[in-house]
Amino acid sequence: MTGLQEHLHGLWLPLVTPFRDGALDERSLRRLTRHYSGQAVDGFILGATSGEGMTLRDAELERLVAIVRDEMTTGPSRLPICLGLSGADTARLKDRLDETADWPIDGYLIASPYYVRPSQRGVLAHFEALADHAAWPLALYNIPYRTSVNITNQTLLRLAEHPNIIGLKDCGASREQSIALLRDRPKNFRVLTGEDANYFEALRDGADGGIVLSAHLETATFAAVYAELKRGNHDAALARWQEVAELTRLLFTEPSPAPAKYWLWRTGLVDSPEVRLPMVEVGSELAAQLDREIERRMQVAA
């Protein structure tokens, strides 16, 4: 197995990208990295959906990676980093793989091509071309409700044979497809759910972990769900899951990551809840709901 393959399990955090006054908020980014590096997190995804990667300029993305790695180099732990990339132009993505080949990362998370809706033969050829070209291993990202193309299990199993394709972030929105993939996948092909609300269910079905935005909040509880299930303690895992299940609904009441950023701002982990257009900050009604939930959880913890 590759180094990343050994670590592609457990609780991964798709780190939000903090902004302030239109720019990358480096101070908040360092604070976030220090905080979550000390939590029960197994790795970071940078610059993907939750990190608003499609709004980041190339220089900002490079700076983002450099800061996160720098904080972990000087801190207590060195967690693996996957860089999120996406696009519908295979040649352009190959260029991006070249441009990022010497960055301090451990691999890539690459979504299926969006908008153009290629055939499965096209999806297969696209990912094989990227995997052949990449200096670092690839995890695939299947999220058809954003890209308009599902990577079928037949295609996934073909791609899983490639030595440089090591796993999948599964947002396929079909439990039946997910269970069949978990049953048929090669031994070392990792599958992590990316559906926050289905985190417990997916782990119970046999997923290797989750890439969970909601774990920015109550991180230890999300980690405990995974740990208890690994130990076979189903009832204990369910009890811990019930502590956070409602958060996975609340944080997606409006487009993500705006609700999570609001929460992180109100609890002092970032200096601003700012997002970039076309995303907008949460409305007043949801802000009030989030404030009430923050207050309730603080009282429980006291």
Distance CA 23, CA 271 (A): 12
Q: How far apart are CA 25 and CA 61, in angstroms?
A: 12
**Nearest one of 260, 289, 258 to 274, comparing CA atoms:** 258
For residues 188 and 214, is the Cβ–Cβ distance under 8 A?
A: no
Residues 47, 61 contacting (CB under 8 angstroms) = yes
Q: Return the active site residues.
A: 141, 169
Query: Collapsing DSSP states into helix, strand and coil, what is residue 89?
Result: coil
Can you tell me the distance from the alpha carbon of 88 to that of 45, in angstroms, rounded to the nearest whole number?
A: 20
